[in-house]
Amino acid sequence: MKFTARVTSRAFGANRVTSTHRGVRAATLGLASVAMAASFAFPTSLPAAAAPPVTVQEAKAVIEQLQTDAAAIDQQYAGVKEQIKQGNEQLTLKQADVKAQTEKVARIRLQVGQVALAQFQNRSLDTAAQLIVTPDTEGFLSQISTVQKVSENQNSVLQDYQQAQANLAALEHSAETDLAALAEKKKQLESLSDASDKKLAEAKKVLAKLTGEQQRKMADAEKQATARANAAGAAASRDAARGPISGSGKGARALAYAKDQLGEPYVRNGAGPNGWDCSGLTMKAWGSVGVSLPHSSRQQYNRGRSVDKSNLQLGDLVFFYNDIHHVGLYAGNGQVIHAPRPGKSVEYIKISYMPWAGARRPG
């Protein structure tokens, strides 16, 4: 009996353990199901998956695109800054006009006052009565002639005064409008600057994902590629200068100015002497030969005369991309000198490397 009881007790214990394990397992599965459901409901509670490693080529492509985007924004920045410069010049002229018109209104106001005074002094007696009582008939008649002349001109003086006042009000309103527009343009500058900085910050984050060795290899490859491109560009430019497309004296001299800037860094809105953006370089290059250009690739596209790709000459302005956000100087034999983008320097590049938008010949 004792033996049986002991066996029974053991069997019961075994069943109890098995039952307990099943319960635990069921509870565990239940909790796992709840956790899984919760994970679908709140995906942000899960740890982020590890990002796949970035290759040098992938990083290079992304960084170049971000830097190109930043350069495009920089040309918008340059264009707005050029608009502000032109707006300030116009505002200065308007303010001078306001000053001159204010002085004109003051002079006409004095004339109106003189007319009013003459009428006031002679309002009590009519002309016939004054002629009878005055001892100086000849002087009075002379005075009457003057007063009548003033009366004849009265309407004209008043009309002039009213028109001058209206012109002054219009000029003042226009100047105030220009001031408000300039304030908005300055806000736009800040927004564009922030947008460009954001692109460059993203490029730095991509670069930071590479190891130090990968970064060094990418930088070395970039330097070697630039050196090869500049050597090829210089040779092509020398050959072109000896050939039939040497171009006008101004174009060749503008190109020579740009060549002297090779290797100098890209700088947002840069116009020398130690840093350049694309339109700043072309502006100063042509400015060195007496041709004035605005500091904006899009505005430069409206200067000079259009040139076909087959008729390019040294120094011609060559524009790229549909929105015309990039410009360089033709260096001959399919080569261009330009200030490319942040992180780069003034260099030669094949004209075929960027989407063609057109060409212009200043001067």
DSSP state string for 324-339: T-EEEEEEETTEEEE-
* CA nearest to 262, candidates 349, 134, 161: 349
Q: Can you give the pTM of this predicted structure?
A: 0.68
Distance CA 188, CA 211 (A): 38
Distance CA 70, CA 269 (A): 12
Q: Name the amino acid, one letter, at 74.
A: D
Judge whether 332 and 313 are in contact, CB under 8 Å. no
The pLDDT mean for the chain works out to 80
Task: List the chain residues with pLDDT less than 50.
Answer: 1-50, 124-125, 127-133, 140, 150
How far out from the chain centre does Cα 192 lie? 6
**Long-range residue pairs from 258-264, CB within 8 A, at least 24 positions apart, any chain:** 258/282, 258/285, 258/329, 258/337, 258/346, 259/331, 259/337, 261/339, 261/346, 262/230, 262/337, 262/345, 262/346, 262/347, 262/348, 263/345, 263/346, 263/347, 264/339, 264/345, 264/346
Distance CA 176, CA 172 (A): 6
Give 164's contacts (C-beta < 8 A, 6+ positions apart).
101, 104, 105, 108
Listed in sequence order, the DSSP H helices in the chain are 2-41, 56-121, 127-133, 137-208, 212-242, 249-259, 278-287, 297-300
The four Cα atoms 138, 143, 144, 145 give a dihedral, to 10 degrees, of 90
* CA nearest to 77, candidates 296, 301, 317, 318: 296
Distance CA 277, CA 268 (A): 6
Judge whether 314 and 241 are in contact, CB under 8 Å. yes
pLDDT score at 52? 59
Q: Exposure string (b/e) for 252-265, b if CB count within 10 Å is 16 or more?
A: bbbbbbbbebeebe
pLDDT score at 141? 52
Alpha-carbon distance values, 54 to 61, 127, 220, 264 (Å) = 11, 104, 18, 30
pLDDT score at 361? 96
Positions annotated as catalytic residues are 278, 326, 338
Q: What is the pLDDT of residues 79-111, one digit of tens each?
A: 999 999 999 999 999 999 999 989 988 888 887
Distance CA 275, CA 269 (A): 9
Three-state DSSP class for residue 107: helix
pLDDT score at 108? 81
Q: Which domains does the chain have, with CATH numbers?
A: 57-208 (1.10.287), 225-361 (3.90.1720.10)
